[in-house]
Amino acid sequence: MSVDKLLSLLHGVKPTGRGRWVSRCPAHEDSRPSLAIRELDDGRVLLHDFAGCPTSDVLAAVGLTLEDLFPERQEGYSGAKERRPWSAIDVLRCVAFEALVVSIAANNVAQGVELPEADRKRLLLAASRLQAATEVCDG
């Protein structure tokens, strides 16, 4: 499958560099682009949803499977693991959004608003996403 086919199935696609894009994730209500897409030189396509959806869920939402991401096996195809597939800016976008979530909650607390259970859970999710962001960058 070409990356162009995948991009045609997604919404809010924006190029972020050579062979790199972001889009809204089709697997959750995504108001800001959290899905990073990367096409490697050997034709493989990598996906990562910084909001945490598994890649298989993202693909299923547009009618694809993991096998669609890999080109036909070619002579010399190494299948080598890409060491640092995500650029710092991809990760920073995720971190910036989670920081916004945390700052809104902090502002509410400062104004004496008691955070409902759902907000407290969202803060825990933000913490786990921020932790995951350090791991994804740590090639």
Tell me which residues touch Zn ion (CB under 5 A).
25, 27-28, 49, 51, 53
Residues 6+ apart with CB under 8 A from 61: 25, 26, 27
Q: How far is the CB of 60 from Zn ion (least distance, A)?
A: 11
From CA 23, how far away is CA 36, in angstroms rounded? Answer: 7
Residue 27 or 36: the one with the smaller Cβ distance to Zn ion is 27
Q: How far is the CB of 57 from Zn ion (least distance, A)?
A: 7
Q: How far is the CB of 79 from Zn ion (least distance, A)?
A: 26
Q: How far is the CB of 27 from Zn ion (least distance, A)?
A: 4
Residues 6+ apart with CB under 8 A from 43: 71, 74
Which helix (H) or strand (E) segment is 58 a member of? Answer: helix 55-61
| Residue type for position 101 | V
Residue 6 or 51: the one with the smaller Cβ distance to Zn ion is 51
Residue 39 or 49: the one with the smaller Cβ distance to Zn ion is 49
Residue 57 or 72: the one with the smaller Cβ distance to Zn ion is 57
> What residue has token string 């786990």?
128
